[in-house]
Chain A
Amino acid sequence: AQSVTQPDIHITVSEGASLELRCNYSYGATPYLFWYVQSPGQGLQLLLKYFSGDTLVQGIKGFEAEFKRSQSSFNLRKPSVHWSDAAEYFCAVGAGNFGNEKLTFGTGTRLTIIP
């Protein structure tokens, strides 16, 4: 069975600083990997996804993530954070056929932005 580990429960970053959120996965085959963001009391918004091809994936809001098979990682990065980036971030791995993915989520990383 697949699993996802997000080792950082809470990260605090100054506005304008760079950000990296860690994600490690366990899956027997080539994984489908996702990063989602959730604002308090809200649903999930997809930031980016990886299925195949280029291991550096560009997403919305200036986020990117790099798939490293040798490290079983899919870390999320942003060169300069904005106060509006404060939220909960979830990494997920998908299993199943195209278009029918059930996801296994990590425990999430809460991002706080300080002025």
Chain B
Amino acid sequence: GAVVSQHPSRVICKSGTSVKIECRSLDFQATTMFWYRQFPKQSLMLMATSNEGSKATYEQGVEKDKFLINHASLTLSTLTVTSAHPEDSSFYICSAGVGTSGNTIYFGEGSWLTVV
């Protein structure tokens, strides 16, 4: 079945540095992917919609210059957290949909970011 893979699963970075998280659709093409953030013991909040070949669409309150999204191919979207701060520490998870009717949305395994 369709699988969405994220890498890395865990990353620790120093405050002020940037970190990139990859989201890949392994056996299907995804023109659109979605990035969510989940703080501990909270729900998932949509950050942005990643569109292949065009700019991402960010949700209200999400800083587009801080969370850079690139969707350069039909199977890869990347989220770069720039100038990371401890408050950016969170669980980041991507998703992609496949199919027409009977749509199914697959989530990646998620990436834990800790900024120290």
- Give the interface of A toward B (CB within 8 A): 32, 34, 36, 41-46, 49, 51, 90, 94, 98-108
Contacts and interface: CB of A to CB of B under 8 A. Distances in A.
B43 A103 contact: no
B93 A32 contact: no
Provide the main secondary structure of the chain A interface. strand
Contacts of A34: 105
The bracket for how many chain B residues form the interface is 20 to 34
Interface stretch (B14-22, B79-87, B96-104): B96-104
A42 B105 contact: no
Interface of B: 6, 31-32, 34, 42-46, 49, 93, 95, 97-110, 112
Contacts of B108: 43
Given A43-B110, A102-B34, A103-B34, A51 B105 contact: no
Given A99-B99, A108-B43, 8 more contacts: A41-B112, A44-B44, A94-B105, A98-B99, A98-B100, A99-B98, A102-B46, A105-B43
Contacts of A45: 107
B105 A101 contact: yes
B49 A51 contact: no
A100 B31 contact: yes
B105 A103 contact: yes
Contacts of A102: 34, 46, 49
A40 B56 CA distance: 29
A44 B34 CA distance: 14
A102 B98 CA distance: 12
B44 A42 contact: no
